[in-house]
Structures are given as structure tokens and as C-alpha cells.
Structure 1
Amino acid sequence: MLPVKQAEAIVLDLVQPLDAQRDRESLDLFSASGRILAAPMAGDLDFPHWDNSAMDGYALRYEDVAHSSASPTVELKVVEEIPAGKPPQVEIQGGQAARIFTGGMMPRGADTVIMQENTRRRGDRVEILAPPSEPGEFVRRKGAFYQAQTELLPAGSLLGPPDIAVLATAQCTQISAYRRPRVAILSTGNELVPPGQPLQPGQLVDSNQYALAAAVEALGGVPIAMGIIPDRPDALENAIASAMTKADLVLSTGGVSVGDYDYVEEILEKLGGKIHIKQVAIKPGKPLTVARFHRDPLSVVYFGLPGNPVSALVTFWRFVQPAMKKLAGKASGWEPIFLEARSRQDLRAGGQRETYLWGQLQQGSSGYEFTLAGGSHSSGNLINLSQTTGLAVVPVGQQFIATGETLQVLPIGSPIVA
């Protein structure tokens, strides 16, 4: 069995990012959230677009008020009012000021803004009650934050709300993004039936296809449901061959153990795949198969996940998720990020494999805390996996973590709750 970290390294080495030229598409800005840039972005405008006020107050010449004080005060004539969005019409001369509001364009001749709290208005005159600390106070200079035609966002950037705001400000209304990774998902087993179909004795509902499709979508991928494949070598071979023509990654569940009906490895080799992983020292999820097929123009990576529902999701989160991040064109940060947390219960493991226990990762008063899900931690018990936000790691060789001890936790799915 391969150690977990070694298996992760093999997976990330096998997966190559989508091609920035071939696998890109043009999107409007409203459709760009959650997408990854396939090309760097630059804007045609400086930001700020012009000198503007950072405060409600008065625009004036620093030299007129540099030595002002509360007694006696400097008094200036107000010659214009400049709300945001209105270009100034008057050039400020000595002894003059313009009433200006936050975001308002600075008038010619003025170089400083006095906030209104340090002034007193009397008709068309304004008294300056306290001098500015320096020339240019409360003025945002043109191009201070960004100069036109310089790189705004690099290729490989995952676009979130702040990035969308930046692109909108720079009037970048069309972006070039990597297409979404396509992931084919198939379930194997004569015992499986889809949800909604009455169960006959001995049958099981196929939850894996739905869970993995949701996990793929959450990562920005496009799930391709291939359905339930019976335990017949010909049917499985046809399904895998078909999946490889449709997808960048192929996920199957079941058929990778050592049972009489487990044909996956045999079929992968028959189809020309090279198997790189057969078993991993992880619990749950030991029977994990990973293979690569060389297809023009891009190779396809195959993940044979265990059939047990919990094992399928744990191995997805631990190995497929980082693979999808790299495949999607993300510039860096593919590897899983573990957080340190205190355990709120005693945790137990066998010690022979790296063990993952599911539960809730929460922000406590003095850091993160992990609460173990109640009930049996069996790989067949999907019920207590609901609302999982973290997987606690018990290292190989360790059998017990006491309440209050720190441990590593892999955040999962929904945001960490307070």
C-alpha cells in the first residue's frame, strides 16, 4: 500500500492542466465568477481614473491653509460645489475652495482636501479650523492604485467577487477563461438501482453518482453521468471506453477490490491504461485505483474509487479534488490545506493506515475545534456523513487522540461555521 502523501504526489504528477490556448472560452463578466483566467488581464484605464476626493469636505490649495489654526481661522470663498459624477467647472485660485463630496473629481488648482469636520461654513465662506497634515491629504491621485496596460490579474487566477469588481472597474467586460473540466462518473454493480426505484431484496440505492456529481459541480467541473454499469466485463469496458471520449477525468465507484466481480483493473490494462496506484494506506478508501490513458490531444486520468459511499467521498476529497484544481488551470495551491484544531472528543483508529474521521470543523473562542460525527464510523454508514465540514486525520501508527489535543483537519464542502 502506498502512503497517502506519496499517492497524492503521483496523482498531481499524472494530471496536467488544460491547455491555455485550446481549452479556453470567452465569457462576459456576469458569467465569470468561479472561473479561472486562461490569459492575463489588463485594463485600458488608470485607477483612480482621475484625481478625486477621499472625503466629504473642501478642495483647496495647501499653501492657503498650511498654517491655519482655530484662532484666528483662515477663511476661504466657496466658488463651486462638486458632487461625485460632476466634472468641476472652476479652477481654484488663491483664497478659494470648492465644496466636494467623496469621489468627486478634484478641480484644477486644488491639491488638498480638508474634511468637513475641520471646517465651519458661513454662507459662501468656509472657515478652516485645523490645517491639513500634509499636501495632498485626502486626495486619491490618478493611477495611484493601477496604471493602464499593466497586468491586472495573472493567468491562473480563480475569479471571486473582489476580482469581478476589479475587472468591472477596469472595464474588462470580456474575459478568457479555461473551460470547465469534464468529469465522467459511473457506478458499477449488479446490486445498484437509481433513487426512486423500488428496492428488491439485496439491492442498494446508488448514492455515489449523485454525491460525486455534486462534488464535481462544487469545484466548478461539469459532471457527466454515465449511469449504473452491470458487473459484466463487456459492459464495463464499453462504459469506460465511452467515458474517456467525453471527459478529462473518469470516476468509477466499485469494482476495484478483490472480489470475483471486480473487473476494473483488468479492463483498464486491456484499454491501454497504465495503472499507477492500486492501494493506498488510507482508511476508509484503501482500494483506490488510479490510471492514465494517453489520448490526443490530452491524456485522461482514471480514478477507480471504492464502492462504499463514505470511502468514495473521502477518496474524492483527498485525491480527486486537488487533481481537479490542477486540471482546471489554477496557477497554484492544488494541494489539500489542513488546519490545526482541537478535538472535542476522544478519537480512535487502528494505527495501520492514515485514518480520516468525519465531523464538523468549527471556529471556537481560541481557534478551530473538531466535533466527531455521532454514530458508527463505518465506510458503509452514509447517514452520519451529512453536514460534514471536516475530516480529522489520525496518522499512521497512532491509535488514540485525547479530548483537547490538537490534530490536523481537512476542511470539506461548505464554509466553516462560527
Structure 2
Amino acid sequence: MFSVQDAEAKILSLTYPLDPERDRQWMSLDEAEGRILAAEVQSALDFPYWDNSAMDGYAVRTTDLTTCSAESPVALEIAMEIPAGYHPPQGIAPGQAARIFTGAMMPPGADAVVIQERTQREGDRVFILERPEPQAWVRAKGDYYRAGAPLLYCGTRLNAPEIAILATAQCTPVAVYRRPAVSLLSTGNELVTPEQTLQSGQIVDSNQPAIAALVRQSGAIAQRLGIIPDERDALKAAILGAIATSDVVISTGGVSVGDYDYVEEILVELGGTLHIQSVAVKPGKPLTVATFPNPDPNNPRSILYFGLPGNPVSALVSFWRFVRPALKKLSGQSRSWGPTFIRAISRLDLKADGKRETYLWGQLVLRSDGTYEFDLAGGSHSSGNLINLANTNGLAVLSCDRPRVEAGEWVLVMQVS
């Protein structure tokens, strides 16, 4: 049985990113949100594009103002007005100033801006009440970025700030990794879909819709293959088809020790290599991880297979803890594959049996002082009870060395949203 940390390390060692050449797509900025850059981006533009004013005021020559002060202001002729988006037709001469607005292009000859609060205007003259330093309130051309330098690196996730950077640098379209294809199947004769009429003894399959949502949230494509009965031939055919069309296959159920748990036998029959069969974690002990040779003989990257437990909470915890990091690495994301852990103060007593690393679900709450509290979900913490998972955004981690946490004590919490 693997420890949680060893299982995570093993899974990431088996995961290889998509190829930046073979798996590249070109996207407009409107399409690229949430995608991962497949190549370093450079721009042909400096940023700022040219010297411009950081404030409303007056563009001046500092050599004209070496002796000015509030007690002894210097009067300058207002030679022009420069709004944003306007190219100054000429520079300013000694003894002149230009009325200028935030973002507007500095005129030749000017080397500073005096903010309007430090001036007094009288007709076509302005009295400067404060001596500015050279480059005061000036955003110099190329001060933030020089053309040709790396702008964003391969493996960067494109969220709103990165989209803004690419837009201002006119880097469009951009090369991004394709989304990994993840096939999902649920196993069990007892399962029905949420749309079917529930008969006595049956169970509605909540795993496939939930895991599909998590797959999409992880930036991958969820290919739902439906419910597969506990029949060897049907399950074998479904897994074989999934391997041929996916980067990752995820099944729920059929990985324990029951008479109808065929998954691991079938994986071996199909040429898979089993790497993990159980993890010392609660919930989620029966976790199967296998790899298959890529159907494309020119592609050395293996196909990953995750066999998750059938109990709904176990399936979700297993995905959050082990599958999501693998999908992040597979998608080409350059770093931060693993979960984010936060120290929080527990509002309630927390306890586990100390035999396995235990994850208890609940809510992280940010306090006014910037620290977090963890509020344990009410009701049973059975792996079959998904009802109290509503609004879960954190899992409190109780290690074997520290199976009890008293109310008011610090606890490590894994963020899940």
C-alpha cells in the first residue's frame, strides 16, 4: 500500500506533458482563456509603446524649473494640449509647457510632468508651483517590457491578466496545447443514469456527472462513455475503446475485492502495467493506477488509467488528491501541479482513527484578519454520503501522527475549489 505522498509522486512520475509541437493549436485571444501556452511568446512592441504621462498635468522641461517653488513659481507658455491617443505635432521649446492627460504621448523636449494640483493656470500660461525631478510622472518607452524579450513562457495558463498582456502586446493568435481527452466510465449493474426511473435496489450514478465536471474544471475534455455492466466482455470492450481514443481513462467502481470487481484483471489482460492498487488514505483506499502504451507508435507518452472507488465521496477525494495534479502536468502546465494546502483554525473537534491519512470535508472561511477557519461539514462523514458535500471547498488533513485536532487548533486544509 502506498502512502499518499508516495502515490502522488508515483503518479506524477508516470505523467508526461503533451508535446508542444504535436499537440499545439493556434487560438485567438477570445478562444484562449484557460488554455496553456505551448510556446514562449515575444512581442515586437515595447511597452509602454512610447513615453507617456502617468497623470493629468503639464509636460515640461525640468531645465526651465530649477528654481521654482510655491513661493517663487515659474510661468510657462502653454504651447499645446495633448489628449490620450493624440500625436504631438511638435515639441516644446524652452519656456513652454503642454497640457497633457493620463496616457497621452509626451512631446519632444519634455522630460517630466507636473501634476495639475501643483500648478495654477491663467489663460495661456501655467504657473508651476513645484520643481519636478527629471522623468517625474513619466512612463518611459520600454520601461515595463522590451521588444524581443520573453513575454510569457511555455506552460503558462492564460487567465485574464495573461490575456490582457497578450492583447496589449498584440500577440494574437497564440499557440496553446490542445485539451487532454479524458474518457469516463462507471461500472456496476446497480447503476442508472439521473434521467432513468429508479427501481428498487438501484443506485443513481452521481460519479460520472461529478467527475466530468471536475475534468472540465481541470481544462480537459470529458468523454462520457456511460454505465458499463459488471460483465467482463462489456467492460473489456469499453476500456479497450477508451484507451484508443483518450489521453486518460477514469473508471469508478470495480477496483475493490468483490466478486464483480474485474477492472484490474482486465487492465493486465489488455497489456496495461499496474503501478498502484491501494493507498493509505481515507476515504479512497482502493485506487488503481495503470499505464498503457500509446496507440500511436510515434508517440512515447503512455495512456494513464485511473480506477477510482465507487463510493461517491471516495471518488471525488481521489480525483482532487491524485487525478487533478496529473491532468495539470499532462496539459502542459509548467508548475504548481499539486494541491494547495492552507493552515486554518478548526471551528470543531476533528478526529480520525490514525490508521490512514484522513480527509474531512467542509468549508474554508476567510476571516477579517486574513487567516482562515475550517468548518467541518455536518452529518455523517461516510464515503457514501455525498449530501453534506454541498459547498465543500476544503479537505482537512489528519495525518497518522496527528489524528485529532481540537477546536481552536491549527489544521492543514487542502483547497478543492
CA-CA distance at 1:339 after TM superposition: 0.7
User: Is residue 352 of structure 2 the alignment partner of residue 349 of structure 1?
Assistant: yes
The correspondence for 2:390, drawn from 378, 386, 389, is 386
Check the 8 A contact 1:341/1:406 in 2, yes or no: yes
Counterpart position of 2:89: 89
CA drift at 1:365: 3.3
- Counterpart residue identity of residue 355, structure 1: T
Q: Which residue identity is paired with 2:354?
A: G
Tell me by how many angstroms 1:72 deviates: 2.3
2:187 is aligned to 188
Do the aligned partners of 1:342 and 1:406 also contact (CA within 8 Å) in 2?
yes
SS in structure 1 at match of 2:30: helix
Are 2:331 and 1:360 equivalent residues in the alignment?
no
Q: Which residue of 2 aligns with 1:14?
A: 14
Partner of 2:412: 408
Q: Distance in 2 between matches of 1:20 and 1:275?
A: 28
The residue identity in structure 2 corresponding to 1:302 is: Y
Shift in Å, 1:350: 1.1
Give, as a single letter, the amino acid of the residue that structure 2 aligns with 1:113: V
Q: Which residue of 2 aligns with 1:303?
A: 306
Q: Deviations over 1:68-91 (max 9, x none)?
A: 012221000001000000111122
Determine if contact 1:33/1:160 at 8 Å carries over to the other structure. yes
How far apart, in 2, do the equivalents of 1:107 and 1:266 lie?
Answer: 76
CA offsets, 1:230-283, max 9 Å, x none?
000101100000011111110000000000000001000000000000010000
For residues 402 and 149 of structure 2, the distance between their equivalents in structure 1, rounded to whole angstroms, comes to 52
Which consecutive unaligned segments of at least 5 residues does structure 1 have? Answer: 414-418
1:291 paired with 2:290, answer yes
In 1, distance between residues paired with 2:402 and 2:96?
A: 77
* Mapping 1:55-94, distance limit 5 Å: 55-94=55-94
State the one-letter code of the partner of 1:154: Y
Deviation string 1:371-399 (CA, Å, 9 cap, x unpaired) is 00000000000100111000000101433
Look up the equivalent residue of 1:329 and give its one-letter code: G
| 2:318 paired residue among 315, 318, 334 | 315
The percentage of counterpart residues that share the same residue type is 59
Maintained 8 Å contact 1:289/1:305? yes
Amino acid paired to 2:280? A
The residue type equivalent to 1:50 in the other structure is: W
- C-alpha distance after superposition, 1:31-54 (max 9, x if no partner): 111110000001111111111111
Aligned equivalents of 1:32 and 1:202: distance in 2?
46
Cα displacement (A) at 1:154: 0.6
How far off its partner does 1:100 sit? 0.4
Corresponding residue for 2:50?
A: 50
Q: For 1:67 and 1:271, how far apart are their aligned partners in 2?
A: 86
SS of 2:69 mapped into structure 1: coil
After TM superposition, where is structure 1 displaced by more than 2 Å over at least 4 residues in a row? none
The 5 Å alignment of 1:253-272 reads 253-272=252-271
**1:78-113 deviations in Å (ceiling 9; x for gaps):** 010000001111221111000000011111111111
Deviation of residue 136 (structure 1)?
Answer: 1.2
Q: Residues of 1 paired with 2:207 and 2:271: CA distance?
A: 26
TM-score of the superposition, structure 1-length normalised? 0.97
Contact 1:80 1:90 in 2 (8 A): no
Which residue of the partner structure matches residue 113 of structure 1? 113
Contact 1:79 1:90 in 2 (8 A): no
Map 1:89-238 to 2 at 5 A.
Answer: 89-132=89-132, 134-238=133-237
Q: Distance in 1 between matches of 2:257 and 2:355?
A: 20
Name 1:416's counterpart in structure 2: none
Separation in structure 1 between the aligned mates of residue 407 and residue 368 of structure 2, nearest angstrom = 16
Q: Per-residue deviation at 1:66? A: 2.2
Give the deviation of 1:219 after TM superposition: 1.0
Secondary structure in 2 aligned to 1:290?
A: strand
Q: Deviations over 1:329-376 (max 9, x none)?
A: 001111222111111000111110000000001112341110000000
Return the alpha-carbon distance in structure 2 between the equivalents of residues 387 and 175 of structure 1: 36
Tell me the residue number matched to 2:375.
371
- Alignment coverage as a number of residue pairs: 412
Supply the distance in 1 between the matched residues of 2:331 and 2:233 (Cα, whole angstroms).
Answer: 32
Equivalent residues of 1:350, 1:398 under 8 A apart:
no
RMSD of aligned alpha carbons: 0.8
Q: Distance in 2 between matches of 1:257 and 1:67?
A: 85
Give the 3-state SS of the residue equivalent to 1:332 in structure 2. coil
| Kept after mapping to 2: 8 A contact 1:244/1:300 | yes
Amino acid at match of 2:377: A
Partner SS state of residue 31, structure 1 = coil
Counterpart residue type for residue 174 of structure 1:
P
